[in-house]
């Protein structure tokens, strides 16, 4: 079941008119399933919802849309999940980097948009992303901005630790030497003070020496934390209580380019009940996911076994051809050697008049 792309390296476009749907004052739920049966390499798998009049005979990538939702894959770099909303005739992609599934199994994508402009994104009936249109799309200016003119107050103490003002340097601390004579070092029996000078033990680091004295650190009782630029109301922000409202939806369409065709679009649903959408996903996708996975894994095993067999046959065929070439080379060498011995033997019995000519012919055949 479903709609499947068929021919490689093609642009596909198909649309259908739907009963008009307005999400003003209610939740919008858009859900569908997509299966990349092929190694898609590069191509889209998204759907579009359109408002107003659409000339379906000329439906294309230039046709305005109100919502674009779904995966787009190209090579190893692009594995994007598109979520684009139209506001006052301009398209705004979500700012988050959403990733799509890339295997060859069926996956269900669900977008939920609520009247408070919050949204949820589900993949296979599990929430993968959520947020608000106010923050995750650059549609309206932000409510709050940083006060670039603010300066840290002079009395702001952002030192988390300070030196202990009550610490006192121990008496005699500065007189502790850095090095001391090694108590284990003994004067050699052969040492002669007259000849060798006054013997002194070698010096070693003094374990009692602690370096330059420093006051220990303590928590700063006046610490106020790291100062941050404060946020203020953005004077350019003007709220739109209908930010979430799309123009009444009248058409749904699939408009994609694919290097390798074979994608299956199915179970498209537009409604206002997330629980109902979840139930539909469970009944259509959830009931078959394990069987599909097992069938896919079994097909992969058969494919691998077939490829291994073909590779083994190719290796055996290559080995057979190498043996045949070796046999032919040995046959030619045997023939050459036999011809050379026979010819050399015949020379001894040829008349002197023909000897010179025959030697030339042997030399031509065996230059060595």
Q: Which parts are annotated binding residues for an alpha-D-glucoside? A: 46, 48, 65, 72, 255
Of 145, 358, 138, 333, nearest to 235 (Cα)? Answer: 145
**Please, are residues 281 and 125 in contact by the beta-carbon 8 Å criterion?**
yes
Q: Tokens in use for 132?
A: 């608000």
- What letters, b where the CB count within 10 A reaches 16 and e where it falls short, cover 274-307? beebbebbeebbeeebeeeeeeeeeeeeeeeeee
**Residue ranges at the known binding site:** 46, 48, 65, 72, 255
Q: Are 266 and 37 within 8 A, CB to CB?
A: no
Q: Quick one: tokens of 244?
A: 């979430």
């Amino acid at each position: 079941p479903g709609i499947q792309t068929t021919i490689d390296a093609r642009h596909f476009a198909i649309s259908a008119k739907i009963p008009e749907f307005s999400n003003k004052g209610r939740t919008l739920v858009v859900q569908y399933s997509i299966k990349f049966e092929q190694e898609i390499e590069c191509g889209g798998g998204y759907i579009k919802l359109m408002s107003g009049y659409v000339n379906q005979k000329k439906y294309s990538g230039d046709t305005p849309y109100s919502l674009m939702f779904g995966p787009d894959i190209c090579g190893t770099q692009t594995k994007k999940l598109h979520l684009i909303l139209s506001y006052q005739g301009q398209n705004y992609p979500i700012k988050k980097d959403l990733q799509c599934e890339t295997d060859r199994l069926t996956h269900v994508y669900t977008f939920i948009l609520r009247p408070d402009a919050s949204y949820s994104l589900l993949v296979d009936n599990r929430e993968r992303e959520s947020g608000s249109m106010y923050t995750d799309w650059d549609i309206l200016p932000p409510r709050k901005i940083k006060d670039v003119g603010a300066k840290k107050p002079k009395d702001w103490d952002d030192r988390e630790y300070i030196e202990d003002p009550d610490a006192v340097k121990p008496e005699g601390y500065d007189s502790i030497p850095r090095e001391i004579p090694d108590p284990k070092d003994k004067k050699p029996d052969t040492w002669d003070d007259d000849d060798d000078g006054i013997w002194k033990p070698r010096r070693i680091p003094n374990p009692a020496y602690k370096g330059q004295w420093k006051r220990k650190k303590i928590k700063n009782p006046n610490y106020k934390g790291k100062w941050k630029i404060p946020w203020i109301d953005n004077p350019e922000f003007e709220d739109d209580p209908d930010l979430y409202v799309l123009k009444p939806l009248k058409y749904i369409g699939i408009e994609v380019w694919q290097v390798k065709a074979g994608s299956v679009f199915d179970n498209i649903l537009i409604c206002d009940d997330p629980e109902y959408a979840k139930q539909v996903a469970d009944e259509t996708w959830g009931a078959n996911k394990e069987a599909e996975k097992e069938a896919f894994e079994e097909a992969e095993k058969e494919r691998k076994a077939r490829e291994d067999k073909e590779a083994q046959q190719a290796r055996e065929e290559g080995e057979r051809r190498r043996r045949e070439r070796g046999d032919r080379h040995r046959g030619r060498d045997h023939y050459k050697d036999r011809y050379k011995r026979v010819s050399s033997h015949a020379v001894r019995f040829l008349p002197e008049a023909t000897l010179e000519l025959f030697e030339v012919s042997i030399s031509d055949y065996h230059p060595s």
